[in-house]
Every structure is written in C-alpha cells, then in structure tokens.
Chain A
Amino acid sequence: MLSPEIYALLFKALLDTLYMVAVSGLLGTALGLPLGVLLAVTGRGELLQNLTFNRIAGVLVNMTRSTPFIILVVAIIPFTRLIAGTSIGTAAAIVPLTVAAVPFIARIVEGAVREVDRGLIEAAQSMGATPFQIIRKVLLPEAMPAIALGLTLSVVSLIGYSAMVGAVGGGGLGDLGIRYGYQRFLPEVMLAVVIVLIVLVQIVQSTGDWIARRVNKRNLKS
C-alpha cells in the first residue's frame, strides 16, 4: 500500500533517527555519567563535598532541563554552528540532542548513585579506599542496575526529542511523519512512522530491561 519511494524514505528516516539517537546517547552518557557522579559525591555530607561546584552544576543542569526542547534547539543555534560547523542537517541536530541528554542523564545517574547504601561507602573507607576507588569499585557497580534503566529511559526520550529536530532539518522519523504524513496529508505514512517508532522504543526498552536484570545481583534466588 506504500510506494517503494515511501519505503525508501522510511528506511532513510529510520537510519537518521538511529544515527542521531546513538551518537547523542553515547555523547550524552560520556558527559552525563561523570557529571551525575560528581553531582552525587559533591553534595552535603557526601564523599567529596563541594557545595560551590554542586550548586553551580545543579543550576546549569536545571536551566537546561527546564527549557522546552524545541526552544533549546533554536536557542543554541550559534553554539551548534560553532560545534558542527552548520546549524542545519542531521549532524547538526546531534548538538542540541546531546545538550539535552547530558543533564537528563546526569540527574538519573546522580539519583542512582545516591541510592547506594552509605554502609558500603563506609566499608570501603574502612578498607582504606581512595574516593576515586570508591566511585569506581563501589558506587558505579552498585548503581549499575539503576543506571542501566535510567539510560534506557534517556534513549527513549532521545527518540522522542529526535522527532523535533526536523525543525532544523535534522531529518529522521519524526520529520518524515510531519512533512509527509501531516503536511502532505498522507495518513498511511504517519501510521507507518508511528508503528516504526513504537517498535523501536519497544526494542530499546526490552534491551534495557534485559541489561538491567543482568547487572542486578540483588534479587537472586538461592
């Protein structure tokens, strides 16, 4: 019922979406994970208490997170141009996606790390662990199930956000849906886009759940 051209467009759009989500997800994790850990360990009474850093980082994170994504995309166009060399296209769209992903992931990681039992930190300290060792050998491994679920959530959110970067010519499934499905009034294209997105999110979520279960050793049956 869909023409081969539409199939080709759909496939191209899927690849664009995967590309944007994968790159921004990886970059977002690479930056958001350390930021989240820092937010967690610099809080009051924590391992490396540093309230100045904690407050400044906290405010920056909140500012980014409270800006609606579509506004963020437009607002940071100069920054995007600086980084990507252009403000239009799929590669350029990765910049705002990453900018949105970093604080999102940071907050999720912060929450996961804060949930780690304080007794474990104390035990590691009693063994003579350095703060860095505590982060690497205790906090991160113990927070990993929650981090895995959080990253899954982040990727799902990024898939949603990526639909909006059509506004700056980012391409991808969302863009296809708007331009063909809505503006050209081709409901079957819209439907196809939605189905592909649903399947994509389902796959991401199931994979994330599976990984989280694998790294979680807390509920093993004896």
Chain B
Amino acid sequence: MITFEQLQKTYPSRGTGTPVQALADIDLTIGRGEIYGIIGRSGAGKSTLLRTVNLLEKPTSGRVLVDGVDVTALSARELREARHSIGMIFQHFNLLSSRTVFDNVALPLELAGVTKAQIRETVEPLLDLVGLTDKRDRYPAELSGGQKQRVGIARALASKPKVLLSDEATSALDPETTTQILHLLADINKRLGLTIVLITHEIAVIKEICHKVAVMENGRIIEQGPVFDVFAHPKHETTKTFVDPVINRGIPDSLRARLSPTPVAGSNIVLRITFTGERATSPVISAISRKLNLDLNIWHGQIDEIQGAPFGTLVVEAIGNPQSIEAAISLLNVNKLGVEVLGHAVPGNLRAAV
C-alpha cells in the first residue's frame, strides 16, 4: 500500500550550522490493511517520515508510492486529489474551534465539493461509528481529549481514505483514553480494512494494536518486522531499551544473589522459560509439574499478550530428580517454549556462605 524507496530528507544548514539529515536511506513497505507502527525517540525522524506520505514534508530525494502512485511526482492539483484518500489524525487534534462536531467532520467533504445531502449521509454514520452522535452540535471546547480525537478520527475517515496516518494521536491523552482510542483504531482497521500508519514514542501503543513495527533512530530505520518478532528478538540496543520494560527479561538482584553458575550441594536448577509462541502457557507448566512430579517454584516473570499470543518470561526453580528435569526441558522445547538454564539456586540455609 505504501512503499518508501531510498527516501532522503535533508534540511539545509542555517547560518553556520551543518545540514541536518532528517531521513536517511529509508526503504520500507507497508502492506494493505496493516497497522504499521513507527517508534522512535523525539527527533528520530518518525514524524518527518509520516509526513512524506501525504507530502506535508517534501523528501529531498527518493520516492513514496501510495497505492502504486508516486506522490512525490504529482502536480499540486493531483496531490490535493491524492490527499483525499489519505486521512490524518494529530496529537493535538487540530479541530476547528469555530465549527461544531458535525461541521468539523464535514470539512473534508465541503472542501471536495460534496453536496449538503451527501455530507449528512456520510457524516452521521461516522459520528455513530466513533460514538459521538449525541455531541453532533457541540463545539470542540465542550469535549474531552478523547472525544476530540474521536472527532479527528471521524473527520479523517470522512473522505473514505485508503490510508490513515496517525501522528502521535494518543500522546496527549491519559492511559485509559489512549486504550479506548487505540481500540477504536483497531476496530476501524478490521471493519474497513483501512491501512493505518502510526508514529509514537510509546512502546505500549505498538504492543496494543500494531501488526508490524519499524524502529527509527537518527533518521534511519534500524529495525523492522512483525511486532512479535521484534519484541521477541530485539537486535538493536535502542530497540531493546524500548522493548525491555514490556518483556522484563532481567531478574531482580535479590534473586540473582542466590544463583550459582555451578551446582552446589542441595541446589536446584533455575530455568528461564520464554513464551514467544502461540502455546497457551499455564497448561504446559502445570502439565509438566503433574506428569513429571516436579515442583516448580516461580521466582519471577511477566507474561503478556501481543497480537493474541502469550509473550514474556518466567523464571522458575525446578525441584525434583535430574531425569524429570531433563524430561521437562525437552517437553518445553517440544511445546516451542524457549528454555534456558540460568544457574543453580543455592538453598536458603547456605545463602550466608555464598
């Protein structure tokens, strides 16, 4: 649906400063119907990249194809036409304070010269979709942040776009409202098959609704792929700092102090089980415990769900005979759960000696 080819954007130097490269060698393809998240710290270039899709930002070189059309090659008139099929929502909503909710949503249609009757036919179902039918004649100043963004979403959908660009659309909202807005976007994506490109600096947003993710730093895409893969196997340091709070791979220091790299008398093996597959978690763990007569003492962990699949780690101390533990490890492997031996838990009464 959207393809960036060798995209570059350089801002010319001001005075004695050096030119700023905002985008460098961007090659990225976003498929039809995907929710594609672009994450990065402020200044990483994600906003610039998003704005090249509807050419609010003109790239220095390279091409941006939207539904097969190179938007960088369009005339002013053709570009305005193309923008009708690219909706956009903004961090600060950008609603007209002088217009009611209805008239705000109607604006893109008015601009396109649609008749009054047709406008009503389009706008009313949209207000229904975003749950604002009762606010139709209110002004933005009378709405909450979440309601304002709903108006923004309805407005962006009014011209029946193929693509929706979301520029930090939830960054000005509280967590609860953020979740509601994200669910609305996911719902729209499913119902209308709309391709959504969103930029954010919050990994939670990516985790919540994105299918794929690209991580940006210094104007470059440093990592990209399905959200699950990137979360499960982050390669770049920056990606890890984004992902770590979500998967919580570390172990608290107090537990680390009890770990010995080699077995000592009375020690039990400590395993880290990584859930990165589609297997339901608890039956596997409890089944192993029951079948193999193993006691699994859970030390630490975090299990979450990404795109419907369990995801996270569990650190357990396995108490039982060595054969059972061996069998447990192979069972976990068969069930496509990652498992690694972290070390050996020193029994509590020996702790002082370690």
Contacts and interface: CB of A to CB of B under 8 A. Distances in A.
Contact of B112 (A120, A128, A220): A128
A222 B143 contact: yes
A110 interface: no
Contacts of A220: 139, 141-142
Interface stretch (B83-91, B119-127, B338-346): B83-91
Interface residues of B, number: 33
A122 interface: yes
A217 B83 contact: no
Interface residues of A, dominant DSSP: helix
Nearest to A220: B141
Interface string B145-165: 000000000010001000001
Please list the 7 inter-chain residue pairs (A to B) with the smallest Cβ-Cβ separation, ordered nearest first.
A128-B83, A123-B94, A128-B80, A222-B142, A217-B139, A127-B108, A119-B94
Interface size class of A (residues with CB under 8 A): 20 to 34
A215 B108 contact: no
A193 to B, nearest CB: 40
Contact of A128 (B84, B90, B140): B84
Interface of B: 54, 56, 79-84, 86-88, 90, 92, 94, 96-99, 107-108, 110-112, 138-144, 155, 159, 165
Contacts of B81: 128
Interface string A116-127: 010110111111
Contacts of A130: 80
Contact of A141 (B80, B96, B155): B96
Given A120-B94, A141-B99, A128 B108 contact: yes
Interface in A140-165: 141-142, 144
Contact of B110 (A117, A137, A144, A217): A137
Contact of A218 (B79, B94, B141): B141
A31 interface: no
A218 B97 contact: yes
A219 interface: yes
B98 A129 contact: no
Contacts of A119: 90, 92, 94
Interface in A188-222: 215, 217-222
A124 to B, nearest CB: 7
A62 interface: no
A85 to B, nearest CB: 42
B97 A124 contact: no
Given A133-B111, A137-B111, A220-B142, A126 B98 contact: no
Contact of B97 (A125, A127, A217): A217
Contacts of B142: 220-222
Contacts of A219: 141
Given A126-B56, A142-B98, A217 B141 contact: yes
Given A126-B54, A128-B81, A222-B143, A120 B111 contact: no
Given A124-B111, A126-B165, A220-B141, 17 more contacts: A119-B90, A119-B94, A120-B94, A122-B90, A123-B90, A123-B94, A127-B83, A127-B107, A127-B108, A128-B81, A128-B112, A128-B159, A133-B111, A137-B111, A217-B99, A217-B140, A219-B141
